[in-house]
Structure 1
Amino acid sequence: MKQGSPNSNPAAEAPESLAALLPEIASLEARAGAGQFEQALQREIRRRQGRLADGVLAYQRNDVQRTLIDPPSVWREGNTRLLDYGATNRAARKRGTRAVFVVPSLINRWEVLDLTEEKSLLRAMAAAGLRPYLVDWGAPNAEERGFDTTAYVARLERALAFVAKRARRAPAVLGYCMGGTLAVALAARRPRRVAGLALMAAPWDFHADRTGHAFLLSTGPLLAEVADKVGELPVDILQTLFWSLDPWLAVKKFGRFIGMDPKGEHAKEFVLLEDWLNGGAPLAGPMARECLIDWYGNNTPGTNKWVIGGRRVVPAKIKVPSLVMIPSGDRIVPPLSAAALADPKKGLKNTRRIDLPLGHIGMVVSSRARELCWTPLIEWISALPVRRSRVVTG
């Protein structure tokens, strides 16, 4: 049975704040007349609850499923594997093709990057002559439930070494969301194995804009204790954290869904995105504690105090060519948090910044994603200078 999640529709990532609701409440009060406002308000609440319930039920009954076949796995360690998106694409198999090491978030799975044949950033990159190697984290096994950020970055280092050896040159590294944060640490530790660093909505300064994360900040210590005791932070808790960013979103998006043609393309994309959001993996206990306490609580990345394998990760010391893409409508990663990596003084050196009028998910799958995000990203990676294999051994 499918479960409703509050965050999928890329066109609805902006919150419906109390200020935005005030005119509607005033209009409702005027129509109701003196003394009848409360009754009218209750009727409106019941109406919206009914539309939410109807929308969730319609989603649960919809039989749309992702049908794309995953590319072959070429490397594995624990439950992590590398998927070669160039293996079945002639353009990506040409000699000298630029390899791209793609790092998604540890929480939501990678399928949003390959949702349908038409809405697939990874397949678009392969069609353009790049060869993406995607990190599929999987769900943490018994050993991986003890992983912290150092362990995950160390695994990325080994996977990157495999790709560099296979491609005979340093690949570009692309990180999305939390995967971008980990990619920064990877570039800091292995700069000679990185031809360029592209970041899509990667959080860095976790105190740059805390207004949207009040619930997460207040519950962080308690949730860290849960992760310590359970050994992981369960998916249901992670979904609640996402829901707290915009509690009105579920009402709005499921209300719209019941007005869609259940067999149409919009309904199909809605269901696939909802399935993706509901199919996330739990977060390993030590990793969850670092995210909640060190990142959100103490802002260790944003203050240059984040330590990986005994070394601080300092963006200003990373000199590889970098691209920082910031969606202005992002509710999951505040734009100011991601923008810290493009700061001329404290951010990455040799960087280009692109601001996008899109949301966190919309930058990947919306109708404007190809034009505004995919195309400049692919062009930037394609233009990177070649770094031969002799410089990727260190």
Structure 2
Amino acid sequence: MTWASSESAWRHWKPGSPTSKANSPVPEAISALLPEIAALEARDGAGKFESALSREIARRMHRLADGVLAYRQHAVHRTLENPPAVWSEGNTRLLDYGATHRAARARGARAVLVVPSLINRWEVLDLTAEKSLLRGMAAQGLRPYLVDWGSLDDEERRFDTTAYVARLERALAFLAKRARRAPAVMGYCMGGTLTVALAARQPRRVAGLALLAAPWDFHADRTGHAFLVSTGPLLAQVADRLGELPVDILQTLFWSLDPWLAMKKFGRFLGMDQEGAGAREFVLLEDWLNDGAPLAGPVARECLVGWYGDNVPGSGKWVVGGRRIVPAKIKVPSLVMIPSGDRIVPPLSAAALADPEKGLKNVKRLDLPLGHIGMVVSSRARDLCWTPLIEWLQAIPSRARNGA
């Protein structure tokens, strides 16, 4: 839209246009270019700039289209075999990532309940054999159990956050019994927000709480979220009527955070060696981004209106199953990992959970020079995120069965 409107804008603002002296003045950026454009056309002939503008718009559009087509036609697909499920409820499963790793099956291996977001699926945590945080944890002697939320069934379309946290409580109880001691809990993005409520409600069953880019104070920094905040009430009505917030609407919300990202990334992809590792990882990551799940209607309303609109968690008013969730009352050992380049969860939002006064009480804060997705799959993720996370999880003091 921006590229296409450039031609119309030029016709409106160019010298001699019948509308150039209309109601709105010429923007300063355009005014600064007018003398240069006039000199160009005096030298090369009238209309040269307009023709060049049309060619550049077409070039950019073709490059974007070619990049998207190259991605669509790429032969790479995720081929990793998923681990066995050891527990299920509705369409939610618990996948045992330690089942095929000797180190993770060793006596005393720390069990970790891993909770991803309800929106994007979990595969980003297990993208390739080389870039799999979950397999990396298992190789280092932890035993991660991943929550696979699956797709919504008729009952789950009526879930609110209380229902999801209650499901996590039952998964945690199963895991505590299976592991014979309290597991650690790790939450990524929105999954981290849910695990804060889990730890508040089940402190004796949680040995430690690791939070990766988990949003909490939704008014700490609303830069880039204006579109989401302004459309929240309307989208909540859509979710009410449909029973869910569709994937395409969720993708539009993510797009609004950085409208130029698609143009940049598909242009960059077109310049890659299409048989190389970089192109392969781009395709797998893009497949993951485009394979999100719809959000249950009540959860969508809570998030769009209650979280982003009213900042219910950040203001200490979030109630889950009749209990107000107050981070300052949670005393389990906690790790808050904050990627400084995060555009999805503003760093200030996640940092609220490590605030000395209102945040988690027994907390370690770790700031990472990475992005929201880069913290788990980038070339620097292993050194900057995986290693300190794994070491922290390994160092958590043990608790007996059920946290006794």
What is the identity, as a one-letter code, of the residue corresponding to 2:63?
R
Partner Cα distance (2:70, 2:102) in 1: 40
Q: Offset at 1:391? A: 2.7
Residue 143 (1) aligns with residue 155 (2):
yes
Aligned residues: 370
Residue 56 (1) aligns with residue 63 (2):
no
Q: Offset at 1:260? A: 1.1
Deviations 1:306-328 (A, max 9, x none): 00011110000000000000000
Residue 94 (1) aligns with residue 106 (2):
yes
Partner SS state of residue 212, structure 1: coil
Q: Which residue of 2 aligns with 1:185?
A: 197
Residue 111 (1) aligns with residue 123 (2):
yes
Normalising by structure 2, report the TM-score: 0.89
Deviations 1:137-169 (A, max 9, x none): 011100000000000000000000001110000
Greater relative contact order (Cα < 8 A, sep 6+): 1
Partner Cα distance (1:105, 1:339) in 2: 18
256, 267, 285: which one aligns with 1:255: 267
Q: Which residue of 2 aligns with 1:66?
A: 78
Residue 292 (1) aligns with residue 299 (2):
no
Q: Offset at 1:275? A: 0.5
350, 364, 375: which one aligns with 1:338: 350
Give the 5 Å matches for 1:1-394: 33=40, 36-389=48-401, 391=403
Structure 2: 5+ residue stretches without partners: 1-28
Deviations 1:36-94 (A, max 9, x none): 54543333222211111000000000010001000000000000000000011100000
Q: Offset at 1:28? A: 12
Q: Which residue of 2 aligns with 1:9?
A: none
Structure 2 contact 274–280 (Cα < 8 Å) conserved: yes
Partner Cα distance (1:45, 1:173) in 2: 49
What is the identity, as a one-letter code, of the residue corresponding to 1:282?
P
Decide whether aligned partners of structure 1 residues 31 and 195 sit closer, same or farther in structure 2, where only a CA change above 3 A counts. farther
Partner Cα distance (2:377, 2:259) in 1: 22
Normalising by structure 1, report the TM-score: 0.91
Partner Cα distance (2:188, 2:38) in 1: 47
Partner Cα distance (1:37, 1:214) in 2: 35
Partner Cα distance (2:282, 2:139) in 1: 25
Deviations 1:156-197 (A, max 9, x none): 000000011100001110000000000000000000011100
Structure 1 contact 217–296 (Cα < 8 Å) conserved: yes
What is the identity, as a one-letter code, of the residue corresponding to 1:40?
A
Q: Which residue of 2 aligns with 1:18?
A: none
Partner Cα distance (2:49, 2:301) in 1: 46
What is the identity, as a one-letter code, of the residue corresponding to 1:57?
L
Identity of aligned residues (%): 79
What is the identity, as a one-letter code, of the residue corresponding to 1:228?
D
Decide whether aligned partners of structure 1 residues 26 and 371 sit closer, same or farther in structure 2, where only a CA change above 3 A counts. farther
Partner SS state of residue 224, structure 2: helix
What is the identity, as a one-letter code, of the residue corresponding to 2:281?
E
